[in-house]
Structures are given as C-alpha cells and as structure tokens.
C-alpha cells in the first residue's frame, strides 16, 4: 500500500484536517500521480456537509486534480513517468453498458465510480485530490498540455468539462443568445466556452461587483438580477440559460427570461428540489434539462480544445490550511473564480 497524506473530514460535523491514509499499490493498468494542484469545487462542500446524500467518512474531497506521473503499471501505454496528467470526477465505471461504450461514463448504467465519496469495485472507499498522490486506472487519467499554466488547468477537470459538455451537446454557438446564470467556478468557464463557440453571452448575476469581471471574461452583456429594469430588458430573449447556481433559486423567474423554444440547462446542484410550475414552460414551449460532468473522451477533447485556444480558469491559489475560509468565501459568492490548492502546502 502507498502511504498518503491528505486533508479529510472525519464526520459530517467536522472541518477538514490533516489525515494519513493508504492508497492501493500501482496495478498493471494504473498510473500514480504526484498531485501538484487541486481545484476547489462547490460540490466538495456540498458533499462534506451531506447536502445531497449521506457521505462516506472520513472524506478526502477534490476532483480537479493535476500533477505529474511518478509511476506506471506494466501494461500502461498512454503515460510515462514525468508526463503531466489530470484526474477529474470519475476513476472507474463498468465500461460495458451502452453509455460507457459511447464514452458517456458519467452516465454509466451500472454506476460510475466517483473520485471521492464513492466506492471502488472491491468496495473500498475512494479518496480525492486534497492529497499528495493518487492511483488511477490509465483509462481515467487525462493528458494535460505543457503549454498552459498547470494550476489554472486544474479546474478544467470539473468546472471546465461540466460547462463544455452541455454547450457542445446543445450545439450552442453563433446565432444563439446564451445566458450564464451565476458567475462562480462553473459560470466563468461557461462564459469562456460560450464566447469561444461564438454565442452572444450574457451573465445573470446577483453580484453587482462582478460586472467588470464578466466583461473581462468576454461576456457581451451583464444583468444584475435584482435590478428590475435590467431584467425587463432581457425578458423572453435567451435561447439557452446555463444554470450554475449552487443554492435555492426561483426557477419561474429565470424561465421568464427564456425565448420561445428556449432551454434551461441545470448544472448547478442545489440541495433542495426545484419548483417548476407547468405554466412557466407552456407559455413558450420551454424546456428544462440537466447535464452532469462529462465522459472521458469529451474531457480529453475539452482539454485539447483549451490548449489549442489558450483557455484556462481564472484562479486564486491557496494554502490547504485556508480551505475553510475559502469555502466561506465561495458560499458568499466571493470566488474569483476558482480556488486552487497548492499541494506543496500540505
Ligand atoms: P460557485 O463557484 O460557488 O458558484 C456558484 C455561483 O452561483 C455563485 O458565485 C453566485 O454567482 C451564484 N449563486 C449562489 N447562490 C445563489 C442564489 N441563491 N441565487 C442566485 N445565484 C446564486 O460554485 P461552482 O463550483 O461553480 O458550482 C456550482 C454548482 O454546480 C454547485 O451546486 C455544484 O455542486 C454544481 N456542480 C455540478 C456539476 C454537474 O456535473 N452538473 C459539476 C460541478 C459542480 P453570482 O455572484 O454571479 O450571483
Ligand atoms: Zn466539481
Ligand atoms: Zn457503464
């Protein structure tokens, strides 16, 4: 077994603190990474607080992992020692169901294995990237370009793919009016991809202080959702709303901003169910949909697209000791626009 240092929540009530644990030895198909940076996703906080379901404790969060390959198993073909590599939200899946065969491992019909707060096929718990190394089957490890800032690539592994995938699925681009709802970790990547794909992008935000940033990220318009005149001007106008909001919000209000035949895409995962009156959909034949992270082939495609188009996340690097103050700022909407842990501080 491999001795590993990490940060874990021992129970749902406790804060993260240093914790030593063991990872499996590197098997013939495995790659071991030294973790250099790990992004901080709002899902990390949802999960250590059991917002969605009872979690598996001790819990080591983190699924925006980048680092260097330090060991490879005998059968590994795609990676060699010294390569830069990444691990996102998944570390395994059944590989046999029709979704896995299409590269949609995130929708594995037999249950994919999340990077943390899940169980490997042998029943052992998975531990995430707030740690100094990880061992993963090579099929679930991604290539990372040397061209981009490594720390700023980390958030692409979740915030990046979670926004890239639905925009690609719905072919959002030239001629579309896209609203990105919530300018946080996911939202700022949604803006970057929407702009890069040619859509007219509007940020819908509760934070007046983010207008300048939204425009610097490439957004064409900014709407402060507490300002009724600004809201009135965009009623019934958007072809798509990419909803990245992490907390309870009024769906009827946002659906009123969709154009006829428009689609509201939920990627944000508030703990409470949405209330969606049928009337908010019927007037204008509107749809509400959702999208979860992305499969392995599309995650690699997104990373390659980012390398080609020079797209990374806007980040603030933190010491792992400051993870809770960072969570507090995230909850207040004060994240510009992703915290990334420098694992050298572990
Ligand atoms: P984040 O950085 O905290 O950003 C969320 C943003 O939503 C905030 O910055 C804020 O933006 C806005 N917001 C917060 N509370 C709001 C409220 N009550 N009403 C309206 N807007 C509000 O979080 P994140 O890491 O981007 O994650 C966002 C959500 O996506 C989380 O629920 C996370 O679990 C989920 N997620 C889902 C997937 C998936 O596969 N679908 C993957 C990753 C994450 P403004 O200041 O601009 O209003
Ligand atoms: Zn995430
Ligand atoms: Zn499957």
pLDDT digits (tens, 9 = 90+) for 197-251: 999 999 999 999 999 999 999 999 999 999 999 999 999 999 999 999 999 999 9
Place of tokens 């103050």: 325
Q: Residue 119 C-alpha to ligand 2 middle, in angstroms?
A: 17
| Report field, pTM of the whole predicted structure over 0.85 | yes
- Return the domain boundaries, the chain: 2-155+294-345, 160-290
User: Averaged over 100-114, what is the pLDDT?
Assistant: 98
Query: Which pLDDT score, from 0 to 100, does residue 145 have?
Result: 97
84-99 residue pLDDT tens: 999 999 999 999 999 9
Ligand nearest to the CA of 89: 2
Which fold is adopted by the domain 160-290? Answer: Rossmann fold (3.40.50)
Query: Which pLDDT score, from 0 to 100, does residue 157 have?
Result: 98
Ligand 1 contact via 160 beta carbon (within 6 Å)? no
H helices within the chain, ranges in order? 42-48, 98-101, 150-153, 159-169, 185-196, 211-216, 228-232, 251-255, 278-282, 296-309, 323-331
Q: Which of 52, 154, 205, 268 to mutate to test the pocket of ligand 1 (most atoms within 8 A of CB)?
A: 268
Query: Which pLDDT score, from 0 to 100, does residue 67 have?
Result: 98
Q: Residue 278 C-alpha to ligand 3 middle, in angstroms?
A: 33
Q: Is the dihedral of CA 55, 115, 185, 105 positive or negative?
A: negative
Q: Are 2-155+294-345 and 160-290 equal in CATH topology?
A: no
Among protein residues, the one whose CA lies closest to atom 17 of ligand 1: 247
CATH class in words for 2-155+294-345: alpha beta
17-45 residue pLDDT tens: 999 999 999 999 999 999 999 999 999 99
What's 108-143 look like in SS3?
CCCCCEECCCCECCCCCECCCCCECEEEEEHHHCEE
Q: Residue 222 C-alpha to ligand 2 middle, in angstroms?
A: 25
Among protein residues, the one whose CA lies closest to atom 31 of ligand 1: 246
Q: Residue 319 C-alpha to ligand 2 middle, in angstroms?
A: 19
Query: Which pLDDT score, from 0 to 100, does residue 255 have?
Result: 98
């Amino acid at each position: 077994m491999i001795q590993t240092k990490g940060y874990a929540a021992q129970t749902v009530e406790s804060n993260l603190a240093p914790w030593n644990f063991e990872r499996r030895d590197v098997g013939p198909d495995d790659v071991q990474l030294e973790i250099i940076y790990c992004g901080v996703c709002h899902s990390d906080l949802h999960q250590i607080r059991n917002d969605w379901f009872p979690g598996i404790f001790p819990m080591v969060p983190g699924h925006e992992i980048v680092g260097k390959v330090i060991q490879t198993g005998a059968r590994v073909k795609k990676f060699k020692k010294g390569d830069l590599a990444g691990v996102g939200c998944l570390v395994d899946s059944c590989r046999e169901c029709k979704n896995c065969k299409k590269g949609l491992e995130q929708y594995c019909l037999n249950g994919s294995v999340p990077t943390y707060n899940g169980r490997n096929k042998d029943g052992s718990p998975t531990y995430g990237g707030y740690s100094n190394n990880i061992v993963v089957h090579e099929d679930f490890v991604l290539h990372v370009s040397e061209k981009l800032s490594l720390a700023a690539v980390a958030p692409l592994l979740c915030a990046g793919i979670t926004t890239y995938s639905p925009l690609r699925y719905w072919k959002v681009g030239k001629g579309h009016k896209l609203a990105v709802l919530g300018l946080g970790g996911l939202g700022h990547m949604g803006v970057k991809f929407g702009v890069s794909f040619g859509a007219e992008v509007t940020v819908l935000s509760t934070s007046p202080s983010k207008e300048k940033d939204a425009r610097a990220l490439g957004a064409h318009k900014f709407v402060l959702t507490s300002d009724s005149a600004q809201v009135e001007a965009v009623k019934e106008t958007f072809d798509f709303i990419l909803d990245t909001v992490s907390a309870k919000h009024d769906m009827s209000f946002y659906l009123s901003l969709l154009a006829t035949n428009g689609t509201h895409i939920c990627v944000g995962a508030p703990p409470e169910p949405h209330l969606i009156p049928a009337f908010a959909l019927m007037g204008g034949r509107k749809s509400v949909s959702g999208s979860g992270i992305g499969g392995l082939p599309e995650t690699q495609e997104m990373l390659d697209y980012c390398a080609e188009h020079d797209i990374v996340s806007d980040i603030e690097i933190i010491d792992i000791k400051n993870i809770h103050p960072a969570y507090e700022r995230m909850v207040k909407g004060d994240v510009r626009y992703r915290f990334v842990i420098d694992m050298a501080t572990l």
